[in-house]
Amino acid sequence: MCTHNHFMKEAIELSRTSMNTNEGGPFGAIIVKNNQVVGRGNNKVTSSNDPTAHAEVVAIRDACKNLGTFQLDGCVMYTSCEPCPMCLGAIYWARPEKVYFANTREDAANIGFDDDFIYNEINIPIEKRHITFEQIQQENALEVFQEWKLKTDKIDY
């Protein structure tokens, strides 16, 4: 049976791989279910030109594909660094049972990956955020929400 340290070492090795292959920043993550790795991910932001290709998101996508599900019930994530706000949101949507992390967000900030501005933006009223948000077409979009509410064959999540 593998240990938490074994799985974390694998996540850390993925972070090293990401860095050494220039796929992205030094971040890696794995997802484990029943003591088996079901998803792997390393940061691929710069190599894929995808700002959402963080290690945790890549690992979630891989695990969900491999498990044939959109939720990670019964899974545990091991990630080389405390998740950023985007990854934290993705983790909550995926619903694993637990997350183990190695480096802290402060450690990441010390090498140039500082997410504090995002954490701060979350608590700022929409009209005062650094990126302008403007609401339009709510009445048309609400029609679709109402249709969803009445849809009888929807898959809840």
Report the distance separating Cα 28 and Cα 12, nearest Å.
6
Q: Within the chain, what is the greatest distance between any pair of CA atoms?
A: 55
Among residues 56, 82, 97, 143, the one annotated as catalytic is: 56
Report the distance separating Cα 88 and Cα 77, nearest Å.
12
Report the distance separating Cα 15 and Cα 126, nearest Å.
34
Indicate if 10 belongs to the active site: no
Helices (H), the chain: 4-20, 45-48, 55-67, 85-94, 105-109, 116-122, 138-150
Report the distance separating Cα 26 and Cα 88, nearest Å.
17
The CA-CA-CA angle for residues 138, 144, 146, to 5°, reads 95
Contact predicate 83/101, CB 8 Å: yes
Give the residue numbers annotated as catalytic, written as ranges.
Answer: 56
